[in-house]
Structure 1
Amino acid sequence: MKFGFSARLLKTNHFRTAASNTSFPAVWMLLAQYPGRIPGSFAKVQRNSFFTMPETVEDKADPELYSPPPRVRGMTQLDREAFKRTIVVPVLKVQKEIIGSLLKPLKHTLLQRPGLKRVIEDPDDENSRLVMLDPHKIPEFSLGGSEQEVLKQFNIPPVVSKYDLELTYESFKLEEILRAVLPEGQEVTSGFSRVGHIAHLNLRDHQLPYRYLIGQVIIDKNPGVTSVVNKTSIIDSTYRNFEMEVLAGESNLVTKVKENNTTYELDFSKVYWNPRLSTEHGRIVELLKPGDVLFDVFAGVGPFAIPAAKKKCRVFANDLNPESYTWLLHNCKLNKVGDKIKAFNMDGRDFLLGPVREELSKGLLLQTEEQKPSFHIVMNLPALALEFLAAFRHLLAGAARGAALPTVHCYAFSKHPEPALDVWQRAEASLGASLRACCSVHAVRNVAPNKEMMCLSFQLPADPALGHQSDAEAPSDKQPPQGPPREQGASVP
């Protein structure tokens, strides 16, 4: 950190007898906002946190004090030297031997700016130090009564000096730089997620002219981030990946991430990975017990499958994307669970009607009263998964009634005012059976304004799965739900 100083310190001797001014609150509070609303009345709500560029609450006392200079407005190519500016702050001259004892009683009056030193060398006296004070607490460069009492105890003259403090690019926070550079009156912050060494953004149209500057500032202000990318298209509905542009840093997008004590490696440009689903992955795995069987229809690189295998479950994992399948196999070896996971590279319907049907048919026949492992089917393709529920009709035709049918965890997006009700009714229509008595709906996260990601969990009804249809259980869009769907014991971390 560089500090400039004036040729001499200007001393002031204006004292106040009142207590230290507290009408100027500490500035630069950071507020990370996670937009969203509570969905339908019978939804179980759990939000996931994720890394963001937080909003800044403006300093009401002097919003310009720590702001970058006006000349950086409109900058599209980063010029770090242009951010230099000098501000005047109050300081106390103190003998270096008593600095440690003085700081604690003055802690509420010290400079509150993160990243700036509170104690610096005195350019005129090697035996003294300059203690930086908060200009908002000492607005007229005069000390209050409480500060004077503290100084009196240490035999320090209550003299406040003015000090020229040079701020540089390194002095400013990420959001402050972006607020100073981008056009006034427009949104300047944008959520981004961290995937290993990669920062992933979804920039708005008005931010695109500044995208390369934004990318470089993110690298500068976030240790460990060496590549910044911006999504340039919607997620491909087939392989669940999207096109992206590297804004700054290295173009290598093969990265390593750790989630819920499990390590994954992946090529972020070719497979789907969302760090905001960490809590949801953990929630589902928590439902499983050793010996259970998990069928992961859209497995990706393994965030459900691998932790389940580490929990000594038998796992059948599938993904249509050849790249996801390759990285799934790689991560199985990386986590030493290759012998517990059988991996497939096929369409989700073919996986359900082939390996899932075959394994379920065998497993249900072998069930005994003493040994009834639970079967779980995870379908995490929220844009399309509800359509795949039709594959469960007649899936187990011929199986004996009374068998412990699998529990399905199906994900979906909803823009409906009551997303839980919407997802439930759409699932019934696709499945061709009522889920009134056997399902629960869990709110996973808010994806965008008025767009929720939901998880519908239900035990597969016997009639459609075994090849029958009961009029009493047929779905109806005329009857509203009678209270909340039944919870199935899901524990929320």
Structure 2
Amino acid sequence: MLRLLKIVFSSVQKRSNTNVSAVLRSVSLAASPSANFVSHPQMEAKLYHAPPQVRGMTSLDKDAFAQTITVPALRVPTRFINKLMKSLKKSTIQRPGVPRVVQDQEESPDFRLVLLDPHRVSSSGSFSEAEAEALRSFDVSQELQHYELRLTYDNLKSEEVLEAVLPLEQDVTSSFSRVGHIAHMNLRDHQLPYRNLIGKVIMDKNPGVTCVVNKTNNIDSTYRNFKMEVLAGEENMVAKVKENGVTYEFDFSRVYWNPRLSTEHQRVVDLVKRGDIVFDVFAGVGPFAIPAARAGAAVFANDLNPESYRWLQHNSKLNKVEGKVKSFNLDGRAFVRGPLKRELPALFAGKGRVHVVMNLPALALEFLDAFRGLLQEEAPYDNNLPTVHCYGFSKDDNPERDMVERASLVLGFPLEGRCNVHSVRNVAPNKDMLCISFTLPQEVLFSQHEEQTEHSEEPTPKRQKCETADSS
């Protein structure tokens, strides 16, 4: 119990990173007689800790979380409230739905009580020098009052509720990825018995979230989606999100979308200039392709997943770049050895740079062999060779070196000293996502290697579609 109290005390001290309901359903305040705050040795024990009956709860009972705590307060003349609150903002209570200023215990209109954070203020000597000076300037006594404050479920943060419910000594999570109106969680096994309660709490405490889902398996490497179960709310999986000023719509249950990659999407798009050409081999719903087209590039975007292909076309129209994005529904290797191969020779003489984006971290490195011997004769202009941005995962102690070695092996050409490796994010302990960027060597592109057979783990779909949008 002592450990739980320390955790709750710590969480009360920090502001929650999640949005919480601003509506207080039940706050009851009753003043005790004026007294020195530190004269109550049991004061610390009265700070909020969940009633023991909520431990192990699997069906949310909001009324069971009600608790009365004692907090310090200052009696302040009403006419000075606004000015004084600016000086005391670091010491006032910060609790969802709880007002910081309440009616004076004597119900005098000339005075109000300012509620203070008991973790910051425990006696009249707890105020900083600046705060104490402000109190003196308005002739406000530093003598602390006691206030009995009734907290309800609505005044608790999501992590406090979950810490109170889940078993002791077990990990508690209130974190999730936000995809439009959907909160996406990855629950651990010991949390699964409480999954519906967790979903309801997350939905309650985060305005705008109307559906909470939990991933039930790993990402499928073929279509890059995963099975999920709805924990709370509506079963509407069609999300609308805005990333880096671009709007996307898609069925989250049938395509791949990761909100943690927005910075990486923008980093690569910033390399693209007006007049450039972009080949997006694994385009998904368009997070690279569409902003690149908005930047003035001509884009050839491909994805094997028929749903991703459909939403890619939809999002191109939604963002009014359908004339700049030619979309394909092909296997990645078929796209490289088909549309990319056909278009590439004519681009060598152009002024725009050629970019090839390969964002399929689980498999993309294996597709690099598709470039070996792609063209049979050297073009007269070989100074505009494509720049490849290829993503991969690494569990190696030296992930940068690992990426270079693996890419070199598949290409059949050493890339050391001829590439850049960018660390994208840490996916899990001892698992990193990286992007290796390099100019495609002409020794690879124009080599005499026999055309590679398709051996990747990405299967060729039974029915392949290839549709192009009209050129701008």
**From 42, 48, 54, the counterpart of 1:66:** 48
Give 2:326's aligned residue. 342
Distance (whole Å) between structure 2 residues aligned to residue 292 and residue 164 of structure 1 = 66
Give 1:249's aligned residue. 233
Q: AA paired with 1:377?
A: V
Could you list the per-position Cα deviations for residues 59-90 of structure 1 after superposition, in whole angstroms to 9, with x for gaps in the alignment?
A: xx959723333321111111111110001122
Q: For structure 1, which segment, 183-192 or 166-175, has the greater mean C-alpha deviation from structure 2 after superposition?
A: 183-192
Instruction: Specify whether residues 330 and 162 from structure 1 end up closer, same or farther in structure 2 by C-alpha distance, changes over 3 A only.
Output: same
Question: By how many angstroms is 1:102 displaced?
Answer: 3.5
Q: Is the 8 A contact 2:358 2:390 kept in 1?
A: yes
Distance (whole Å) between structure 2 residues aligned to residue 165 and residue 337 of structure 1 = 56
Give 1:282's aligned residue. 266
Q: AA paired with 1:392?
A: F
Distance (whole Å) between structure 1 residues aligned to residue 81 and residue 162 of structure 2 = 36
Aligned residues: CA RMSD: 2.5
Question: By how many angstroms is 1:294 displaced?
Answer: 0.5
Distance (whole Å) between structure 2 residues aligned to residue 233 and residue 82 of structure 1 = 34
Distance (whole Å) between structure 1 residues aligned to residue 228 and residue 70 of structure 2 = 44
Give 2:101's aligned residue. 119
**From 359, 364, 371, the counterpart of 1:385:** 364
Q: Is the 8 A contact 2:37 2:145 kept in 1?
A: no
Q: Is the 8 A contact 1:226 1:250 kept in 2?
A: yes
Question: By how many angstroms is 1:228 displaced?
Answer: 0.6
Give 2:14's aligned residue. none
SS in 2 for 1:358: helix
1:249-328 to 2 correspondences below 5 Å: 249-328=233-312
Distance (whole Å) between structure 2 residues aligned to residue 94 and residue 192 of structure 1 = 41
Q: Does 1:129 align with 2:112?
A: yes
More helix, by proportion: 2
Distance (whole Å) between structure 2 residues aligned to residue 148 and residue 259 of structure 1 = 46
Question: By how many angstroms is 1:389 displaced?
Answer: 0.7
SS in 2 for 1:12: coil
Give 1:436's aligned residue. 416
Instruction: Specify whether residues 235 and 9 from structure 1 end up closer, same or farther in structure 2 by C-alpha distance, changes over 3 A only.
Output: same
Q: Does 1:9 align with 2:32?
A: yes
Distance (whole Å) between structure 1 residues aligned to residue 273 and residue 126 of structure 2 = 65
Q: Does 1:457 align with 2:440?
A: no
Q: Is the 8 A contact 1:68 1:172 kept in 2?
A: no
Select the structure with the greater relative contact order (CA < 8 A; seq sep ≥ 6). 1
Distance (whole Å) between structure 2 residues aligned to residue 322 and residue 445 of structure 1 = 28
Could you list the per-position Cα deviations for residues 317-370 of structure 1 after superposition, in whole angstroms to 9, with x for gaps in the alignment?
A: 000100000000000100111111110001111111110000002323xx0xxx
Q: Is the 8 A contact 1:135 1:141 kept in 2?
A: no
SS in 1 for 2:415: coil
Instruction: Specify whether residues 108 and 459 from structure 1 end up closer, same or farther in structure 2 by C-alpha distance, changes over 3 A only.
Output: closer
Q: Is the 8 A contact 2:96 2:156 kept in 1?
A: no
Question: By how many angstroms is 1:178 displaced?
Answer: 1.2
Percent of counterpart pairs with the same letter?
Answer: 58
1:149-188 to 2 correspondences below 5 Å: 153-156=137-140, 159-188=143-172
Give 1:351's aligned residue. 335
Give 1:412's aligned residue. 392
Question: By how many angstroms is 1:103 displaced?
Answer: 3.1
Q: Is the 8 A contact 1:142 1:160 kept in 2?
A: no
Question: By how many angstroms is 1:152 displaced?
Answer: 5.7
Instruction: Specify whether residues 97 and 384 from structure 1 end up closer, same or farther in structure 2 by C-alpha distance, changes over 3 A only.
Output: same
Q: Is the 8 A contact 2:423 2:434 kept in 1?
A: yes
Distance (whole Å) between structure 2 residues aligned to residue 305 and residue 166 of structure 1 = 53
SS in 1 for 2:423: strand
Q: Does 1:81 align with 2:75?
A: no
Instruction: Specify whether residues 251 and 80 from structure 1 end up closer, same or farther in structure 2 by C-alpha distance, changes over 3 A only.
Output: same
TM-score norm. by structure 1 comes to: 0.80
Give 1:394's aligned residue. 373
Distance (whole Å) between structure 1 residues aligned to residue 419 and residue 128 of structure 2 = 65
Instruction: Specify whether residues 413 and 11 from structure 1 end up closer, same or farther in structure 2 by C-alpha distance, changes over 3 A only.
Output: same
Give 1:215's aligned residue. 199
SS in 2 for 1:287: coil
List alignment gaps of at least 5 residues for structure 1. 17-60, 470-493
Distance (whole Å) between structure 1 residues aligned to residue 399 and residue 124 of structure 2 = 57
Give 1:46's aligned residue. none
Distance (whole Å) between structure 1 residues aligned to residue 307 and residue 290 of structure 2 = 17
SS in 2 for 1:343: strand
